[in-house]
Amino acid sequence: MIRGRDHMKIRFAIAAAALALSACNDTSALEALEALEARVQAVEDQLAIQRVITDYSAHLDARDYDGYVGLFTEDGVWANGNTRREGREEIRAMLEGLFGEVEEDYVNLSSFHYIANFEVDVEGDEARSKSRFIFFMRGEGGAPMPELSGQYHDRLVRTEEGWKIAERVDHTVMPTPEEWVAEIEARGLNSLED
């Protein structure tokens, strides 16, 4: 993965080469550099989007409501089945309804999300993404037990602050959404349903 100074060195080298070639008026070499610049941008966009998706789970697991809702656009949408939350305020209210107020020094020792199989397609300042998730909870003897799995289907947009989720559709696969709601209610937890 390209990070920090390496990223800047690559950008600088591309810019310096483009400047030198434009002075020489070598159009084929300049076109090759522009193609390289586009490829580097595409890789950076894909990595940035994967980071948003990974951060989503990290903020959710840490009960970091501000970090979580900050990954969405102001009018972003979160949807699962018949449940739809629009805008950061509604999304935050959903989290507070599910988990309640979080203590300042909260550490989650009961559950975590695992995200994988990223598919990212970028077109300009918009992107579509699919990823798979498994939600683990503490089982007997503290062993991690898979409880829920599914897919996230995202529409993202490039903003001045970076990539943000404009719409996330959470497709629960195993158990089904109905089975999961029943399980949540059986455990005495708050449901996502209205």
Residues 6 or more apart from 132 whose CB is under 8 A from it? 115, 116, 117, 149, 150, 151, 152
What topology does CATH give the domain 4-186? Nuclear Transport Factor 2; Chain: A, (3.10.450)
pLDDT, averaged per 10 consecutive residues of the chain (194 residues), comes to 57 62 63 77 91 96 96 96 93 92 90 94 95 94 93 96 96 83 73 54
Residues 6 or more apart from 60 whose CB is under 8 A from it? 68, 95, 113
The per-residue pLDDT for 36 is 77
The per-residue pLDDT for 177 is 75
19-50 tens-digit pLDDT: 565 666 666 766 777 777 878 888 899 999 99
Residues 6 or more apart from 97 whose CB is under 8 A from it? 190
4-17 tens-digit pLDDT: 566 566 666 666 66
Is the pTM value of this prediction over 0.75?
Answer: yes
The per-residue pLDDT for 1 is 45
The per-residue pLDDT for 191 is 55
Residues 6 or more apart from 146 whose CB is under 8 A from it? 134, 135, 136
| Ramachandran bin of 63, using left for φ above 0, alpha for ψ from -120 to 50, beta for the remaining angles | left
Structure tokens at 35: 């193609």
- Chain centre to alpha carbon of residue 2: 19
Residue 170, strand partner residues: 152
Handedness of CA 136, 138, 139, 144 (dihedral sign): positive
The per-residue pLDDT for 149 is 94
CA 168-148-48 angle, 5° bins: 40
86-96 tens-digit pLDDT: 999 999 999 99
